[in-house]
Chain A
Amino acid sequence: MINFRATLAIYFHELDRFRRTIFGSLVAPVLTTSLYFIVFGSAIGGRMQAVGGVDYGAFIVPGLLMLTMLSESTSNASFGIYMPRFTGSIYEILTAPVGTAETLLGFVGAAATKSLILAAVIMLTALLFVDYHVAHPLLAVGYIILVAASFSLLGFILGIWADGFEKLQIIPMLILMPLTFLGGTFYSIDMLPEPWRSVALFNPIVYLVNGLRWTFYGKADVDIATSFGLTALFLAICIAIIAWIFKTGWRLRS
């Protein structure tokens, strides 16, 4: 029988940690993203041409949203599971009648929730700087949830893999952030000359940014079905890895 109370216990415990660290968890990323809007949206954006018929300030909103969500979903989930490992309080999760599904729903659900709150705040904040509208709001919400869940799962894997605080930052800082910057956050990959345009198509973040951009403006550099499909595949791979981790006890049980 599924232990839903354990899921709720983990979920609310994690959200409470979010409340306790509200400045670092919410204010800091919103402030950073606002600075992007001020610099690229208002200051430089006014002098840029529209991209595919979308005003430049509005064009970068999905990309910046994705940049924040990828980073925060990964960091929140990795920190969420790494901290109990670091303090030793993970013993409680391992000795409780809690399976993989309940643990994941609790940790990843909480991390994804934090990202969704953050996404909502950033979208509201963006309205202060640029004028944008969402063409497919339901698909946008669905896609944001899918991305938040997928990268929270990735963060969960990182939190189990990491054996120090430094390693928690390696993937978000050295891989995700550069790939997101190069993944069309601030430009359309159609603006790139060959061979860079073709090279950019090997960057998975291109598909994420363009998937979200399509839900906003109905236009994207890549096929939207490919974006949804790759994100769903990534989610499935992460779940499979985590199932293996729990089955073997890798880095959890001695």
Chain B
Amino acid sequence: MSEPILEIAGLTKTYAGGLTALDRVDLTIRRGEIFALLGPNGAGKTTLIGAICGLVRPSGGTIRAFGEDLSRSWRTARQRIGLVPQELGLDMFDTVERQVAYSRGMFGCAPDKARIEEILKSLSLWDKRNEQLRKLSGGMKRRVLIAKALSHDPELLFLDEPTAGVDVELRRDMWKQIGKLREQGVTIILTTHYIEEAEEMADRVGIIDKGRILLVDDKDAMMARLGRTEAIFSLEAPPAAIPTSLAHYPLTLDGNELHYRGGDGAGRGKQEVAAIAQQLTREGIIFTALEQKESSLEEIFVGLVERGEFAGEGAAA
């Protein structure tokens, strides 16, 4: 396991009105990983990012970044942190290139036209460098936010809903860009509503709801632990009961359909479905169709947040 780049302990944020947006959050982020923070609206994702980046004043707890207490070493830490906010907060009358240069200056870096050109080209913004931001599309504006966040070459990058409102093609482009950043060693924490995004990119996933971290795990381990295989056999003539040779499988009979829900998200489910198919044939039970699917991260997320499944699985790592 690589060294931690960010360590959060007991982080709490209670607003003046009494709303607790973060409730004793413990979280450790490892250097070089992509960490996806999932949660419904109002779960506390943006507040958590805001507390780390300086937008929100925590009510309690500690944040250590790069091994230093953020409340004391905020200047040196912030030089190494970048943020792509959820909202398109930009000076719409300024040009793309000037805005990125402005961000670079704000983080204490010397002017470097070559580096800015490199960043703009990597985000397909070079041709738009002299355009006012108000003339760009929503997707392009979001790219500008990313360019601004990258202008001082941060080691830790926060992406708060980076692809919200972005078309599918642009979203794929951004995923590639995020992949490149990871290759360069940038640690990335992203919040997203698109679970597909987390599934595609994240090394680890954290699920937050009502200000509390419900679960943190490696994405693959989470899928293996909480993932399920579902299969439906359409039977030509359903038997009166499930044959005893299949009794040890998690099967239910529903009319002329035989339902399977089991496995572990790591291949056991597929093997069991194949074994059931062979056994049905041996038993002379003819099936005319077979539908099979693996549960997605989204189903796991919904199960955790909306149905309260997997209670007790939560562990902040």
Q: Which residues of A contact B (CB under 8 A)?
A: 1, 3, 5-6, 8-10, 13, 16-17, 20, 83-84, 87-99, 249, 253-254
Q: Is the CB of A9 within 8 A of B106?
A: yes
Q: Is the CB of B55 within 8 A of A254?
A: yes
Task: Report A-chain residues with C-beta under 8 Å of the C-beta of B4.
Answer: none
* 10 nearest CB pairs, A to B: A88-B89, A9-B105, A96-B106, A97-B78, A97-B75, A89-B89, A95-B53, A3-B108, A88-B87, A5-B105
Residues of B that sit less than 8 Å from A by CB: 15, 50, 53-57, 74-76, 78-79, 81, 83, 85, 87-94, 98, 101-110, 148
Q: B88–A96 contact, CB under 8 A?
A: no
Can you list 8 A-B pairs with a CB-CB distance of less than 8 A? A3-B108, A5-B105, A5-B108, A87-B91, A88-B85, A89-B91, A91-B85, A97-B76
Across the interface, name the chain B residue whose C-beta is closest to A252.
B55
By the criterion CB–CB under 8 Å, are A253 and B56 in contact? yes
Q: For residue B107, which residue of chain A has the nearest CB?
A: A96
Bound: A178/B63 CA distance, A? 50
Shortest Cβ distance from A11 into B: residue: B105
Chain A contacts for B83, CB-based, 8 A: 91, 95
Q: Given A95-B54, A97-B107, A254-B57, do A88 and B88 touch, yes or no (CB 8 Å)?
A: yes
Query: Which residue in chain B gives the minimum CB-CB distance to A8?
Result: B105
- Where chain B touches its partner, the secondary structure class is loop
Q: Which residues of A contact B57 (CB under 8 A)?
A: 249, 253-254
User: Among B75, B90, B106, B108, which residue has the most Cβ atoms of chain A within 10 A?
Assistant: B106
Q: How far is the CA of A90 from the CA of B54 in the complex (A)?
A: 11
CB contacts between A and B, total, < 8 Å: 85
- Given A87-B92, A94-B53, 5 other A-B residues pairs in contact with their CB atoms under 8 A: A9-B101, A16-B94, A17-B93, A89-B89, A97-B74
Closest CB-CB distance, A9 to chain B, in whole Å?
3
A95 close to B109 (CB less than 8 A): no
Q: Whose C-beta in chain B lies nearest to the C-beta of A89?
A: B89
Q: Are B55 and A91 in contact (CB under 8 A)?
A: yes
Closest residue of chain A to B81 (Cβ to Cβ) is A95
In the bound complex, residues from chain B placing their C-beta under 8 Å from that of A13 are 91, 94, 98, 102
Residues of B within 8 Å of A8, CB to CB, are 105
- Nearest CB of chain A from residue B247's CB, rounded to whole Å: 58
Complex Cα–Cα for A140 and B134 (A)? 42
Closest A residue to B89 using CB positions: A88
Give the Cβ gap from A116 to chain B, nearest Cβ, in Å. 23
**Closest chain A residue, CB of each to CB of B76:** A97
Cα-based distance from A3 to B85 in the complex (angstroms): 23
Q: Find chain B residues with CB under 8 A from A91 CB.
A: 55, 83, 85, 87, 89
Bound-state CA distance A99–B88 (Å) is: 24
A253 to chain B, nearest CB (A): 5
- Residues of B close to A88: CB separation below 8 A: 85, 87-90
